[in-house]
Structure 1
Amino acid sequence: MTAYHRLPATLLSGLAASTGGRGASRALAEAQLSKHLLLIANLLRRWSGPAADRDRIVHALEAARAAASAEAARVLGSPLVGAWVAIVSRAVAQGRAERDDVAHLGAVAAVTCAAARVDTEMTVPVRDGAVALPGVGRLAVGEARHARVTSAGGTLTVDAGRGPVTVTGAADDGWQPVRTLVAGSGTVRAKLALDDVDPYRHGYHAPPAPRLSAAEFAHWQELFTEAWHLLTERVPYRAAEIAAGLRALVPLQGDGRSARSATIRHVFGVFGLTRPATAADFAVTLVHEYQHAKLSALLDLVQLSDPADERRYFAPWRTDARPLAGLLQGVYAFAGVADTWRALRGVPGVTDAAEQEFANARLQVAQSLATLEGSGALTPVGARFAAHLRHFTDALLAEPVPTAVARRAEQRQRQLHERWRAANAT
């Protein structure tokens, strides 16, 4: 019998009210693990390489899951494994997959076995002169086409014809580990990979940044520590769900003009961003993009809007006309943004900016949510979702703000609508 993931009504209503908590984050992550496993199984069924390699991978994954299911699940459910399997599955379906991309599954299997302390040996491809081990790091090996990756007693070694190299946690000759941002303590401790080496970390509206210098990484860590303190002090319920579901960040190349961030629809637990200017901006970006991630993962489980609806709508955060699903994404993300700016109004040095950003964001959410509610294109579940979100939004609107701040928000909204109408005039 096939088992389907179903969110309990309480978790669904919690997510609809813009938060959801640790339980919802864990439930969404479990569903994503199942999706990854289904996609990996499909790749194995359509495997075009040597049958012995396929059989070795199947045996290794089964042994790892049997020996240490939680440790194996953490690797197989990781976001950059999800990014790889989504990219490759689309390529396979379109008949344009490259063999080395599919063969990356050998590296996934080796890392999974190491996490589960299962011994195995895999043949993996060399890309751009390096072997990539998902979630672990990248080793420069030169011009070899393939390498052997061995898991023994939980330790990984790589041999590309020049003798085995043991993978360690510290940077070494040719070895670039995935570094980790850490902040907080106890139940609100955050631990996020800052992955600047994985070959499948692309797909955002800006290219991924190359390897960060030690000084640049230290700057990220400093900002993250400050941002996490703001979240745990001001919006601890958001810090808790982010800690439970977000696992990695991908630094992006900036354009020199403004900060950028984005979440990929089919990949949960990671998003890309340029380094934020301030800790407050970092805190809001964490909430903003995790809102997108939660909703995208939820849409793998339930249908909230009618996919046949082809109309386009005004979204006050963009000048292009948006489909209903895109409008829903924006409403949900900016509900979290408004809530976070509301909480940051009392932070010294941030108060005035937070007050205006709160007023702007809540007005954007309220007007766009009204568009959703009046569209007639929400499913029954989507209508219930919108009703919970309306209750949350009304609470935001009930917060008093200075009259001048409210007027500036209203004027800004009118100007945005005028620009949108001009850009979309027929």
Structure 2
Amino acid sequence: MIRRHDVTPAQFAALAAGYGGPETIEALARAQLSKHLLLIKFIAEAWVGARAHRDAAVETLTRAQAAAPAEVAELLGSPLVGAWAADCTRRLRGGLRAEIPLDAECNHLSAIAAAAAALAGVEARLEVPSFGGRVAVPGFGLTKLDGAAVATVACGRVTVAGAAQWLAPRTLSATSHGRSIRVTLDDVDPYRGGHHVPPTGRLTSVDGWQAVFAEAWDLLATHAPARADELAAGLRTLIPLQQVDSHSARSATIRDAFGAFGLTMPSRATDLAVTLVHEFQHSKLSGLLDVTRLSDPGATELHFAPWRIDPRPVSGLLQGVYAFLGIADLWRRLLPVVAEAPQEYAVVREQVRWGLTSLEGSGALTEAGRRFTSGMRAVFDDMAADRVPPELVRRAERKLRGTHDAWQRRHQTTDSPARP
């Protein structure tokens, strides 16, 4: 169902304080579903190429929705359906170029319709697109095929004549302290890219991912149960990214894929726990931004962000402050149990101090944006009262001032925007 969405004042305040809770996450997810439905409607109306394919996809999707509305809503609300819908819409509006023929991109709707038909237990026969000799159906995976691909749906199964065996997406799951989570580890979907490094190909094994995921979940469920509850409510997909060098771990969230993010293989449970919190903060804020404007999209002011080397617009600074406030909160909760937590907490808390002070000095925030920033300030002020070893605090301050000075030299500015 497409309808206007918003969050309640209490949900807004909870999000501003860095959390939100499962009910708020579910409200944001419902808004994403409506967004996806609107984009799919636009695609179906604007796609003027292969009309027979479009009409068959729309007809199949309509029958599937009528037969199993909840199951199909889960599919249409999924992150990588959102990523496809956003990319395809941009192409149809002339704002994005790609090597894939536009008709093939639009006809991914047929693959989505095939998945919906299987979930709903209805029969269908659809011509689905082939991406470089590979056919992808959301939830079912990837298969190799030369030539035209016709998907037949019957008895809850999707078959493609002449195709190889499906390479299905894997799952990661964990349970600790009565809290459970299950997510897709997607190394096959054609719309899993868009991060600052490419996604991996098919993983030979996911045993290492599962082991560290279970450890990270135990850490969160034990020491940050409210974070765990949010993740269980809203995190749906992890996308393995290529390790481009041997020293740096990477992760990134794409705004159009709510509840999904990409990451390189984590080496430690603590690292993964921090990454889960970090990236899900971005998903939450992106979901909120789809229903509430927090800054002026036409603003040209740029800011120093302690975690970046490039000047950031106010929207980027807002994302960074929110994500790092969540990281600081997690390190705070891990102070008694993780050896490096005091040092990490001191550094991240100082980064949030600088970013938040700069954000408060911005003239580009809306009234809602100012309220959101005030909510973050209240949380930070409580953190600022925590006793951390003075030498760690001084070291964090020196490091950040050095980073800021280097940033000024790099960008040839003497500005000290809201320097604490």
Tell me which interval the TM-score lies in, with the shorter structure as reference length.
Answer: over 0.9
Corresponding residue number in structure 2 for 1:6: 6
Corresponding residue number in structure 2 for 1:362: 349
Q: 1:128-177: CA deviations, max 9, x gaps?
A: 22211112211122x21x21212222222222xx3xx7xxxxxxx63211
Corresponding residue number in structure 1 for 2:392: 405
Distance in 2, matches of 1:336 and 1:344, equals 13
Q: 1:286-322: CA deviations, max 9, x gaps?
A: 0000001111111111111122321111111112111
The alpha carbon displacement at 1:187 in A equals 6.2
Distance in 2, matches of 1:228 and 1:336, equals 16
Is residue 415 of structure 1 aligned with residue 402 of structure 2?
yes
Distance in 1, matches of 2:2 and 2:279, equals 32
Please say if residues 140 and 169 of structure 2, whose CA atoms lie closer than 8 Å, have aligned partners that are also in contact: yes
Q: 1:321-343: CA deviations, max 9, x gaps?
A: 11111110100000000011111
The size of the alignment, in residue pairs, is 408
Q: Look up the equivalent residue of 1:61 and give its one-letter code.
A: L
Distance in 1, matches of 2:57 and 2:361, equals 51
Aligned pairs for 1:183-222 within 5 A: 183-184=174-175, 188-214=179-205, 217-222=206-211
Please say if residues 263 and 293 of structure 1, whose CA atoms lie closer than 8 Å, have aligned partners that are also in contact: yes
Percent of aligned positions that are identical: 50
Corresponding residue number in structure 2 for 1:94: 94
Q: Look up the equivalent residue of 2:150 and give its one-letter code.
A: R
Dislocated runs of 4+, deviation >4 Å: none
The alpha carbon displacement at 1:226 in A equals 0.3
Distance in 2, matches of 1:2 and 1:112, equals 18
Distance in 2, matches of 1:51 and 1:259, equals 45
Q: Look up the equivalent residue of 1:315 and give its one-letter code.
A: A
Corresponding residue number in structure 1 for 2:416: none
Aligned pairs for 1:242-281 within 5 A: 242-255=231-244, 256-281=246-271
Please say if residues 259 and 276 of structure 1, whose CA atoms lie closer than 8 Å, have aligned partners that are also in contact: yes
- TM-score, with structure 2 as normaliser: 0.94
Distance in 2, matches of 1:186 and 1:76, equals 31
The alpha carbon displacement at 1:52 in A equals 2.7
Distance in 2, matches of 1:123 and 1:181, equals 31
Corresponding residue number in structure 2 for 1:231: 220
Aligned pairs for 1:10-21 within 5 A: 10-21=10-21
Q: Look up the equivalent residue of 1:39 and give its one-letter code.
A: L
Distance in 1, matches of 2:81 and 2:179, equals 25
**Matched residue SS, 1:241:** helix
Q: 1:263-294: CA deviations, max 9, x gaps?
A: 11222111011011210000000000000111
Please say if residues 80 and 135 of structure 1, whose CA atoms lie closer than 8 Å, have aligned partners that are also in contact: no
Corresponding residue number in structure 2 for 1:107: 111
Corresponding residue number in structure 2 for 1:175: 166
**Matched residue SS, 1:135:** coil
Q: 1:175-232: CA deviations, max 9, x gaps?
A: 2110001111686211111101111111100011111112xx1101100000011011
- TM-score, with structure 1 as normaliser: 0.92
Distance in 2, matches of 1:136 and 1:231, equals 30
Please say if residues 320 and 423 of structure 1, whose CA atoms lie closer than 8 Å, have aligned partners that are also in contact: no
Please say if residues 108 and 133 of structure 1, whose CA atoms lie closer than 8 Å, have aligned partners that are also in contact: yes
Which residue, out of 127, 130, 150, partners 1:126? 130
Corresponding residue number in structure 1 for 2:332: 342
**Matched residue SS, 1:122:** strand
Distance in 2, matches of 1:136 and 1:402, equals 52
For structure 2, the 5+ residue unaligned runs are: 414-420
For structure 1, the 5+ residue unaligned runs are: 166-172
Please say if residues 169 and 185 of structure 2, whose CA atoms lie closer than 8 Å, have aligned partners that are also in contact: yes
Please say if residues 64 and 113 of structure 1, whose CA atoms lie closer than 8 Å, have aligned partners that are also in contact: yes
Q: 1:230-266: CA deviations, max 9, x gaps?
A: 0111101011111111100110111222000001122
Aligned pairs for 1:119-158 within 5 A: 119-141=123-145, 143-144=146-147, 146-158=148-160
Q: 1:359-399: CA deviations, max 9, x gaps?
A: 11111112211111122321111111111111111111122
Corresponding residue number in structure 2 for 1:323: 313
Please say if residues 181 and 191 of structure 1, whose CA atoms lie closer than 8 Å, have aligned partners that are also in contact: yes
Please say if residues 26 and 234 of structure 2, whose CA atoms lie closer than 8 Å, have aligned partners that are also in contact: yes
Residues 246, 321 of structure 1: alpha-carbon distance in 2 compared, 3 angstrom cutoff = same
Is residue 288 of structure 1 aligned with residue 278 of structure 2?
yes
Question: Once structures 1 and 2 are overlaid, which stretch shifts more, 22-31 or 365-374?
Answer: 365-374
**Matched residue SS, 1:149:** strand
Distance in 2, matches of 1:277 and 1:260, equals 12
